Structure 1
Amino acid sequence: MPAHGSSVADARHRVRARLREWETDEGLRDDAEMIVSELFTNAVMHTGSEFITCGMGYDGTRLRLEVSDQGRAPTAPRPRAAGVDEEGGRGLLLVGALSQAWGVRPTDDGGGRVVWAELGPGAPPF
């Protein structure tokens, strides 16, 4: 998808629709939608990417979400302590609270990075 703020809502809606098709429960859909929104927004705001991709896999128990960018940010994503009056800065804290695990890895072609999160019972990663 294009790396524009307007694509965030499209990504959220696509994730929710696919999770409905997979007949996941409402709580998982809500959490996944929030996480994708945060990760996609961060990629738009902080990476200078032209496009961003979202992927997910579900094994009937655990859900893995991935948001890939072109890796143009000077630093890797990391949670930070936002001030009380700041509007932003809490997204990755929220991702950490809603997921069992999350992290960052290079894309398969090395031209960017993937920020991923896993939801579901605490189990080894995919």
Structure 2
Amino acid sequence: MPRDLIDTGRLVISELVTNALLHTDSERIVCRIERRGFQVRIEVADQGPGIDPCAPRCCPADPDAEGGRGLLLLDAMATRWGVISPDQGAGCTVWAEIAP
């Protein structure tokens, strides 16, 4: 796999797992990675209530804030991403697809 795809994947996984750790009271967080050729789908599932679908665009971080930009970064790095909310299953799954 291309090095830049590996690096992007690491950043996406780090962001999604960090969000699950910081923003939910989950006892269990699961990361799933699926490769299809040079495309990779990353899913992180937790026991949380989900996220606001407009969060990356509606809630910009304060310029001096240490956090609050993760979903904006995800939006920039992924070719597509989304949320499978708890009403469609147990817990919340955030997924992202990345490609070179």
Structures share fold, TM-score greater than 0.5: yes
Task: Please report how far the alpha carbon of residue 71 of structure 1 lies from its aligned counterpart in structure 2 after TM superposition.
Answer: 2.1
Structure with max Cα Rg: 1
Q: Is the 8 A contact 2:49 2:85 kept in 1?
A: no
- Number of aligned residues: 96
- 2:75 alignment partner AA: G
> Quick one: percent identity of the two aligned structures?
46
Is the partner of 2:81 in helix, strand or coil?
Answer: strand
The one of the two structures with greater contact order (alpha-carbon pairs below 8 A, sep at least 6) is 2
Is the partner of 1:49 in helix, strand or coil?
Answer: coil
How big is each residue's C-alpha offset from its partner over 1:9-44, in whole Å with a ceiling of 9 and x where there is no partner?
xxxxxxxxxxxxxxx111001000001101100001
Equivalent residue in structure 2 for 1:43, among 20, 29, 33: 20
- 2:73 alignment partner AA: L
TM-score (norm 1): 0.70
Partner in structure 1 of residue 98 of structure 2:
119
Aligned ranges 1:94-105 → 2 under 5 Å: 94-105=73-84
TM-score (norm 2): 0.86
Q: Is the 8 A contact 1:101 1:119 kept in 2?
A: yes
Q: Distance in 2 between matches of 1:76 and 1:117?
A: 16
- 2:33 alignment partner AA: M
Aligned-residue CA RMSD in angstroms?
Answer: 1.8
Q: Distance in 1 between matches of 2:24 and 2:5?
A: 27
Partner in structure 2 of residue 10 of structure 1:
none
- 2:3 alignment partner AA: E
Q: Which runs of 5+ in 1 are unaligned?
A: 1-23, 122-126
Partner in structure 1 of residue 4 of structure 2:
27
Q: Choose between structure 1 and 2: higher strand proportion.
A: 2
After the TM superposition, which segments of 4 or more aligned residues of structure 1 sit over 4 Å from their partners? none
Q: Distance in 2 between matches of 1:31 and 1:99?
A: 8
